[in-house]
Amino acid sequence: MKISYNIFLSSTVILLISVIVVALLVTILFLYSAYENKKMQRMNQELVKKNDRINTILYATKSSLWGWHYGSDRLIVDELFKDIIHHDQLDYKNITFGQWKELTLSQDQELFDMEFEKLRSGEKDFIDFEYRLVDSNGNKQWIHCYAKVLFINPDGSPKAISGIINNITMEKEATREKEHVNYLLEHVIENNNGGVAIYDKNMNYIYVSNKFKNQFSLTDDIIGKNHYELFPDLPEKFKEAHRRSLQGEILGENKDTFIRSTGEKMYTIWSTRPWYDKDGNIGGIISYVEIITEQVKKELNLEYAIKHDKLTGLLNRSFFTEEFIRLDQEEKYPIGVMMMDLNGLKIINDAYGFKSGDEVLKMISKSLEKISKDCGSVFRLGGDEFAFLAEYMDEETLKSCIREIHQSIEKLEFNNIKLSVSIGYAVKNNPDVKIEDILREAETNMYSRKVLDGTSIRNNAIRGILQTLNNKYEIEKTHSDRVQKLCIAMGEALGLEKDDLNELSYAAILHDIGKIAIPDAILMKPAKLTFEEFEMMKTHTEKGYHILRAADEYSDIAKYALTHHEKYDGSGYPNGIVGEDIPYFSRIISICDAFEAMTADRPYRRAQSVEFAINELNKYANTQFDPKLVKVFIEEIIPKNI
């Protein structure tokens, strides 16, 4: 019984323990179940919150969640999908991926297919790209698409794909507009004639256009550097302009002079203005600089050319008229005008050529320029004519200026020719008198003076030319002297009257004056002349004619200089005159000239004998020479004078 009691007791304990354990288990299960329920509630609450957040984000970013069941091609989309792709004709509850794809713009079809193929093949874990589709109105919409494989089949192929799309058309348009504006702004800045630089308040560079850098030879690392340190010689006026712009002023100049420390003179168009930050405060200045040095130089050169004579640099005729009209105001009366003419320029041109004449004009111009400080503006009216024009110039002052001009010009000399000018003047002190009448009065007075001065001046010019020829070429002086003696002997033998004998003497001494215009290389050549050189030599007859014709005292003698190389048979030059149509004195000079040339040393040969010369004269009598005059020369002149 004791054993049975023990067994019973043990069984009871075990049962009790079992009951307790079961009770504990039930309690634990109950508690666990309660815990799990609360946990699920909390998780559901969190999930709802997260979904709310996601929906809020999707709505805020105008994005749509979508899913694609790869096998059925079915597309599951949310309510925003329709608003994003803007296509009213689609049934969004039954839309397929293929229908969505068909909306893609043809140019972007390849990109669309390629991106999803990379996701399908496993080449990418996710895709993120932008493409365009066409909405129901035919407008292009920019779509940003993000997608990722959600479930995978046992064979590794995608079972479902999920992603997000959003419409970025406005952002794209805004970006494009911004890029376009930036492009236009940069295009305008870089294609402007000048350069643009933007500075902060301390004049440190924060932007510099390429044109600005090129104009001032700046390097690409200019940003952050200080303007004044790079340009230590910047004039104070520009620094003052910067200071004023930092106070809010807009300043500038259309044609300003900028002289560098090197002495280089630059012309610029510039402006400076403040720029403002987002709070409306001045953040620095914007500077525009265009270097127009070459343009201004061209303008100045053009302006100079319009107003000035090209040869002398004096003011010209057109500006003379313009200036006279400008001065013609009563408050500027009396206006003095001097007209002047350079004497003997034609003779100088004929004797020495136009280059020499130009040199003489320059000499006169320089002399007149010095006087212009006291006597008004000086002009070259053209040719050999000059003029002075001055306000507040009465007659007495004009006469004083005329004396000063004569004294200055009389000091000038060109090749033994003393230079001079003839001057006439007039004064305008009445507004009713026309400018044309004043100019005519001054010009008439000038020509009257020129008539009085002209003869002696031109005659002196001839003597000066002859002196220059003789000084320069000793052979020519000796030749002319000997020809003159032979001609005088011939004239006496022929019984010429005294006046005729004097004319023949002048003609003989001046017959070769035209040689002053022949180049030295030809005149003194120690060899036979070429055909071209001889043709040039032959021109001395016509040149001598024009020189002598310019002076009244020698105008009658000019014909002998022209014709002394004519031949009796008409084969001479320059006009081929025959026989006794050749002036009488020219036929005499021709014989004396030929005899002297044969019997004197020349650069290209030694002197011939008298006998040789006589034979040549006889040989060419009746062809080159007048036979009667040859006979007199051989029979009477040679025996007595040689």
Q: What pLDDT digit, counting tens, does each position of 337-370 carry? A: 999 999 989 889 988 999 999 999 999 999 999 9
Placement of tokens 């003393």 in the chain: 418
pLDDT for the residue numbered 20: 53
Per-residue pLDDT band at 28 (split at 50, 70, 90): low
Please answer whether residues 384 and 341 qualify as being in contact, where contact means their C-beta atoms are separated by less than 8 angstroms: yes
Peptide bond between residue 431 and the one before it cis (omega within 30 degrees of 0): no
Alpha carbon 266 to chain centroid, angstroms: 14
**Across 125-140, average pLDDT:** 91
Per residue in 136-169, pLDDT (tens digit) is 888 999 999 999 988 888 877 888 888 999 998 8
Q: Virtual CA dihedral for 436, 438, 441, 447, nearest 10 degrees?
A: -80
Looking at per-residue pLDDT, the higher value among 41 and 326 belongs to 326
**What ranges in 524-623 are assigned the alpha helix state H?**
531-538, 540-549, 558-563, 584-598, 610-619
Give how far Cα 189 sits from Cα of 178, 185, 209, 318, Å.
Answer: 16, 6, 7, 43
Give the span between the Cα atoms of 108 and 143, in whole angstroms: 11
- Ramachandran bin of 415, using left for φ above 0, alpha for ψ from -120 to 50, beta for the remaining angles: left
- Ramachandran bin of 328, using left for φ above 0, alpha for ψ from -120 to 50, beta for the remaining angles: beta
Give the span between the Cα atoms of 279 and 273, in whole angstroms: 18
pLDDT at 284 over 90: yes
Structure tokens at 18: 């079992």
Based on its alpha-carbon atoms, the radius of gyration of the chain, rounded to whole angstroms, reads 57
Per residue in 206-223, pLDDT (tens digit) is 989 888 888 888 888 899
Looking at per-residue pLDDT, the higher value among 389 and 265 belongs to 389
Looking at per-residue pLDDT, the higher value among 311 and 179 belongs to 311
pLDDT for the residue numbered 13: 44
Structure tokens at 616: 């040549």
Peptide bond between residue 154 and the one before it cis (omega within 30 degrees of 0): no
Give the span between the Cα atoms of 207 and 287, in whole angstroms: 10
End-to-end CA separation in angstroms for the chain:
207
Single-letter amino acid, residue 43? M
**Summary mean pLDDT of the chain:** 86
Beta strands in 155-250 (DSSP E): 158-167, 195-200, 205-208
* Secondary structure of residue 77 in the 3-state scheme: strand
Share of the chain above pLDDT 90, in %: 52
pLDDT for the residue numbered 160: 86
What is the pTM (predicted TM-score) of this model? 0.60
Give the span between the Cα atoms of 105 and 128, in whole angstroms: 18
Please answer whether residues 589 and 490 qualify as being in contact, where contact means their C-beta atoms are separated by less than 8 angstroms: no
Q: Are strands 158-167 and 63-69 parallel, antiparallel or unpaired?
A: antiparallel
Single-letter amino acid, residue 519? P
**What ranges in 260-331 are assigned the alpha helix state H?**
293-307, 317-327
**Across 429-443, average pLDDT:** 93
pLDDT for the residue numbered 332: 93
Give how far Cα 210 sits from Cα of 155, 238, 595, Å.
Answer: 61, 21, 84
User: Which residue in 266, 264, 265, 282 sits closest to 274, CA to CA?
Assistant: 282
Looking at per-residue pLDDT, the higher value among 268 and 34 belongs to 268
Per-residue pLDDT band at 43 (split at 50, 70, 90): very low
**193 secondary structure, DSSP code:** S
Structure tokens at 38: 């609360």
pLDDT at 39 over 60: no
pLDDT for the residue numbered 55: 57
Q: What are phi and psi of 268, to 5 degrees?
A: -135, 155
Give the full edge-to-edge strand order of the sheet including 158-167.
74-77, 63-69, 158-167, 140-152, 126-134
**What ranges in 473-539 are assigned the alpha helix state H?**
474-493, 498-510, 520-523, 531-538
pLDDT at 492 over 70: yes
Per-residue pLDDT band at 559 (split at 50, 70, 90): very high
* Secondary structure of residue 263 in the 3-state scheme: coil
Burial class (CB in 10 A: 0-12, 13-18, 19+), 494: middle
List CB contacts of 274: < 8 A, sequence separation 6 or more: 245, 246, 247, 248, 249, 250, 282, 283, 284, 285, 286
Q: How crowded is residue 335: how many other Cβ atoms within 10 Å of its Cβ?
A: 22
Strand partners of residue 207: 198
pLDDT at 27 over 70: no
Q: What are phi and psi of 353, to 5 degrees?
A: 95, 165
pLDDT for the residue numbered 259: 72
Q: How crowded is residue 376: how many other Cβ atoms within 10 Å of its Cβ?
A: 24
Give the span between the Cα atoms of 143 and 66, in whole angstroms: 14
Beta strands in 30-178 (DSSP E): 63-69, 74-77, 126-134, 140-152, 158-167
Please answer whether residues 321 and 432 qualify as being in contact, where contact means their C-beta atoms are separated by less than 8 angstroms: no
pLDDT for the residue numbered 15: 45
Looking at per-residue pLDDT, the higher value among 5 and 632 belongs to 632
Q: Are strands 417-418 and 315-316 parallel, antiparallel or unpaired?
A: unpaired
Per-residue pLDDT band at 486 (split at 50, 70, 90): very high
Structure tokens at 395: 């007659």
**Across 322-341, average pLDDT:** 94
Q: How crowded is residue 195: how many other Cβ atoms within 10 Å of its Cβ?
A: 22
* Secondary structure of residue 418 in the 3-state scheme: strand
Structure tokens at 196: 């643009």
- Ramachandran bin of 198, using left for φ above 0, alpha for ψ from -120 to 50, beta for the remaining angles: beta
Please answer whether residues 166 and 143 qualify as being in contact, where contact means their C-beta atoms are separated by less than 8 angstroms: yes
User: Which residue in 567, 561, 593 sits closest to 581, CA to CA?
Assistant: 567
Give the span between the Cα atoms of 113 and 117, in whole angstroms: 6
User: Which residue in 242, 241, 231, 240 sits closest to 266, CA to CA?
Assistant: 231
Strand partners of residue 63: 166
> Containing H/E element for 446?
helix 435-472
**Across 510-522, average pLDDT:** 90
Give the span between the Cα atoms of 197 and 287, in whole angstroms: 5
Structure tokens at 189: 């800045």
Single-letter amino acid, residue 97? F
